[in-house]
Structure 1
Amino acid sequence: MGFIKNYSSVLWLLGGIIAGSIAGLILGSRVTVIQPVGDIFLNLLFTAIIPLVFFAISNAIAQVDAGRKLGRILGTMSLVFLSTLLIAAFLTIVCVWIFPIHQQVILSHDAGDISNPGNVGQQLTRLLTVDEFYTLLSRKNMLPFIIFSVIVGFAAMRAGAAGAGFRNFLYSGNEVMKQVLHLIMKAGPIGLGAYFACQVGTLGPKLFGTYAHSMAIYYGFGIVYFLVGFSGYAFIAGGVRGVKLFWKNNIIPTLTAVGTGSSIATIPANLEAAPRMGVPNDISSVVIPLGATLHKDGSSISSIVKMAVVFGMYGKGFDNPQTIMLALGVTVIASIVEGGIPNGGYVGELLVMSVYGFPVEALPPLMIIGTLVDPLATILNATGDNVAAMLTTRFMKGHLQTE
């Protein structure tokens, strides 16, 4: 019962998608009469995302004590987080090249021109900035908006006592917008069900082939990364002994991640397991709590799979070097941003749409994939923090702590 309760939102979403698929198969194109239901849900989600991202990011930074120094632990930890995220993303890209997601379903040709985006300087300017404040409030400019939110957060932090009122405003706004998103997502099963019914009704059962292929890639590569990749990291941290320590003590965190469906809820199990893995308390007490929100190897893998799927659906090639470099950058940003926001995967998906110029119809496929990969993604996100703590210990102290 506890498992069902923790995954109730995912199960309801899947239930809505399945019901919508059945309706689409039975009714065919006639099911498009309910398309406004899906459109209303997406519009509500789009309008809530911008203020949610602003308050979540600005508040998180504004509440940091300006007098604290990052220190050596945070610096080493950041490099470890970034390295594993990029390794996971790049290896997923290689996997997608080997097992390409075929262009079976062309949803629309109304996608951004990502093949000829101009010179590098022009592309960076468009990607990172806008020339009018009001354009920041468009979902099409998510990355400039995130950068602006970060700047506001730092400014509020640096303002000290004079900025106390504004920091309280950011905190309250963050709490309110969390509840707004929770309320909207209660309509998720109906909204996504209606959308999926229309897609199946108009495109037919061939739509399932693309999703099945993407799931096979994610779960196949994700399991290999969990077993082989994490073993490799543990070996770097402590040789054969490190591998044994990691797997011997990683069982309870893994089961906790599966049972709770939450990286945050796995923190206590990780903190208990880390000392047995050779990680001293001064490192685990910093790396594991921060890793729960900032370190998302599972989300990194799913970001690449989602991009490959939508590129295929819109007839775009996912093999251009410039596209790949941008994908790696988007993956890192999305993985970090997702951690502090409820249903944060949807923010990452909006960022993908914004950067590559895909239309609104691209969001539901991204959301559906994110829902389907959630169990394994949670395992990778949560237990990856333990192996990151082991690596941080190795690079800071030269070896794992002896028992």
Structure 2
Amino acid sequence: MSQDKQKTHLTLKIVIGMITGIVIGALLQISFDDSGDRVINVFGMAFSTYGFFVDGIFNIGGTIFINSLKMLVVPLVFVSLVCGVSSLSDPSKLGRLGSKSVGLYVMTTFIAVTFALIMALLIKPGEGFVIETEAIFVPTQEHGFAQVIIDMFPSNPINAMAEGNMLQIIVFAVLVGIAMAKCGETGVKVQKAFEMINDVIMKIVLIIMELAPYGVFFLMASLAATTELSAFSNILAYFFLVFFLLIAHALIVYPTMLIVLARLNPLTLLLKMKDTAIFAFSSSSSSATLPITLATAQKKLGVDRSVASFTIPLGATINMDGTAIMQGVATVFIAQVYGVDLSIADLLMVVLTATLASIGTAGVPGVGLIMLAMVLQQVNLPVEGIALIIGIDRLLDMTRTVVNVTGDCTVATIVAKSEGVLNEAIYNTDPFSDEMIEASKVEMHRT
């Protein structure tokens, strides 16, 4: 079975698990109440029918899945960041080209998550949908901006890992990556070891995502059995808000950057991205779309190979604008659902964590959810809230990939223009000309 078919199959299974869980949970809620519940005996122990499923089977299965996501947060963030930063810190790649590319990618991610938080706070997709929970949430202490910056640097990195302090882990990982890049041959050997560890962690991610349909079933069944069904309209509100923000980011932020920073017509880039966007949407992977993205940047947009070969692969690694938008909206949505008020310090923490964590994060299915779990833990929100969005998140993932590859080409074009190596004659060629149509056929055939 091909990789694309496997992704489609997994997506279908997750959607089926979500729908089945909602239906079964709703039937349990309708069928059993205080007067209609029955007692059953299991291995000599008495259970209520409702409690056996909701507090027993569903709770156990859902908790195991959530714990599996939590388990991967620290190793995934630390190892992937060390790998990413150590490769970015190669002295031959640093300089004007590297600083411009990384700076633009980080800036767009910062804009994406900030805009997402603002819109989610204004629209309030989770308002009115409150889940009762016995968990006690400790709000983040209000600190000034100076204290937030100070708290990013760990005095004990091992303790930061044990406590899951993500900002401190990120800073430590960045320092380790830079040190590795400056250690010459020794650093290269250590980097290869980290890359092998990263491959193993990515395989664990894929294994857990294969179990996601069952985890989603348990979580949604438990949720539907204990929540009024009318509240599911809030989940649709979340879906459409994220979708709107993704489209707005691609059609407003990127074109504005092209106009302001490169003095280019953004409509030309958007039209020439058509084939790349279609492939990205179908594959849901920036990495899988990389050959087409590179071909588009060079042959259709006129980006010199020296810039495209560095900036595009870099973007496939660190440009996670779509995921940042999802994390911003999801964090506010889950906070509203659980009745938790996010402070200014919490919101700032979300922006910093989501932006910094984008560096080195691999573009494989499931990583976005683990990154969301990291953000939720950072602001003391329940990771269990992921159950509310995991089913429809697979549907949004395709759109996120389109946004990410569009951002990759946008940054590559701006950097090439600033370096004086953008062929504007190619860029300004009619997107519907015979040359552009033939280029589209060639790159799709090669892929």
Q: Into which bin does the TM-score normalised by the smaller protein fall?
A: 0.7 to 0.9
Match of 2:370 among 317, 324, 347: 347
Residues 247 and 44 (structure 1), Cα distance of their counterparts in 2 relative to 1, 3 Å cut: closer
1:113 aligns with 2:114: no
1:213 aligns with 2:237: yes
Q: Given that residues 143 and 351 in structure 1 are in contact (C-alpha distance below 8 angstroms), is that contact kept between their aligned partners in structure 2?
A: no
Residues 209 and 299 (structure 1), Cα distance of their counterparts in 2 relative to 1, 3 Å cut: same
Q: Given that residues 77 and 170 in structure 2 are in contact (C-alpha distance below 8 angstroms), is that contact kept between their aligned partners in structure 1?
A: yes
Q: Given that residues 76 and 396 in structure 1 are in contact (C-alpha distance below 8 angstroms), is that contact kept between their aligned partners in structure 2?
A: no
Q: Given that residues 303 and 412 in structure 2 are in contact (C-alpha distance below 8 angstroms), is that contact kept between their aligned partners in structure 1?
A: yes
Larger helix proportion, structure 1 or 2? 1
Q: Given that residues 130 and 136 in structure 1 are in contact (C-alpha distance below 8 angstroms), is that contact kept between their aligned partners in structure 2?
A: no
Name the stretch that deviates more: 252-261 or 7-16: 7-16
The answer for the alignment partner of 1:258 in structure 2 is: 281
Residues 324 and 335 (structure 1), Cα distance of their counterparts in 2 relative to 1, 3 Å cut: same
- Residue 402 of structure 1: SS of its match in structure 2? helix
**Residue identity opposite 1:303 in structure 2:** Q
Q: Given that residues 293 and 312 in structure 2 are in contact (C-alpha distance below 8 angstroms), is that contact kept between their aligned partners in structure 1?
A: yes
Match of 1:84 among 78, 102, 108: 108
User: TM-score of the superposition, structure 2-length normalised?
Assistant: 0.80
**Runs of 5+ unmatched residues, structure 2:** 33-49, 427-447
The answer for the alignment partner of 1:8 in structure 2 is: 9
For residues 376-391 of structure 1, what are the structure 2 equivalents within 5 Å? 376-391=399-414
**What is the count of residue pairs matched by the alignment?**
399
Question: CA shift at 1:180, angstroms?
Answer: 2.0
1:89-138, Cα deviation, whole Å (9 max, x unpaired): 33333432442224223333622313x43455554454542547245234
1:36-86, Cα deviation, whole Å (9 max, x unpaired): 011112223322333333332223444567442402111111222122222
**Residue identity opposite 1:235 in structure 2:** I
- Alpha-carbon distance in 2 for matches of 1:223, 1:60: 28
Match of 1:230 among 247, 254, 274: 254
**Residue identity opposite 2:398 in structure 1:** P
User: TM-score of the superposition, structure 1-length normalised?
Assistant: 0.88
Q: Given that residues 85 and 332 in structure 1 are in contact (C-alpha distance below 8 angstroms), is that contact kept between their aligned partners in structure 2?
A: yes
Match of 1:37 among 33, 43, 61: 61
Q: Given that residues 236 and 391 in structure 1 are in contact (C-alpha distance below 8 angstroms), is that contact kept between their aligned partners in structure 2?
A: no
**Runs of 5+ unmatched residues, structure 1:** none
Q: Given that residues 334 and 385 in structure 2 are in contact (C-alpha distance below 8 angstroms), is that contact kept between their aligned partners in structure 1?
A: yes
- Alpha-carbon distance in 2 for matches of 1:132, 1:283: 36
Match of 2:317 among 285, 289, 293: 293
- Alpha-carbon distance in 1 for matches of 2:191, 2:360: 19
- Alpha-carbon distance in 1 for matches of 2:296, 2:316: 15
- Alpha-carbon distance in 2 for matches of 1:238, 1:344: 33
Question: CA shift at 1:293, angstroms?
Answer: 1.1
Percent of aligned positions that are identical:
22
- Residue 315 of structure 1: SS of its match in structure 2? coil
Name the stretch that deviates more: 272-281 or 258-267: 272-281
Name the stretch that deviates more: 290-299 or 56-65: 56-65
- Alpha-carbon distance in 1 for matches of 2:13, 2:405: 23
- Alpha-carbon distance in 2 for matches of 1:398, 1:132: 43
The answer for the alignment partner of 1:129 in structure 2 is: 154
1:356-402, Cα deviation, whole Å (9 max, x unpaired): 11234234336456434211111101222111212222333397633
Rg comparison, structure with higher value: 2
- Alpha-carbon distance in 2 for matches of 1:364, 1:137: 25
- Alpha-carbon distance in 2 for matches of 1:209, 1:58: 41
Residues 364 and 387 (structure 1), Cα distance of their counterparts in 2 relative to 1, 3 Å cut: same
- Alpha-carbon distance in 2 for matches of 1:258, 1:397: 32
Residues 396 and 157 (structure 1), Cα distance of their counterparts in 2 relative to 1, 3 Å cut: closer
Match of 2:357 among 331, 334, 342: 334
- Alpha-carbon distance in 1 for matches of 2:93, 2:258: 29
- Alpha-carbon distance in 1 for matches of 2:167, 2:12: 31
The answer for the alignment partner of 1:23 in structure 2 is: 24
1:179-237, Cα deviation, whole Å (9 max, x unpaired): 22222222111012101110111112134122111111111232233233333333335
Residues 44 and 64 (structure 1), Cα distance of their counterparts in 2 relative to 1, 3 Å cut: same
- Alpha-carbon distance in 1 for matches of 2:200, 2:350: 32
Please tell me the root mean square deviation across aligned C-alpha atoms, in Å. 2.8
Residues 371 and 177 (structure 1), Cα distance of their counterparts in 2 relative to 1, 3 Å cut: same
The answer for the alignment partner of 1:303 in structure 2 is: 327
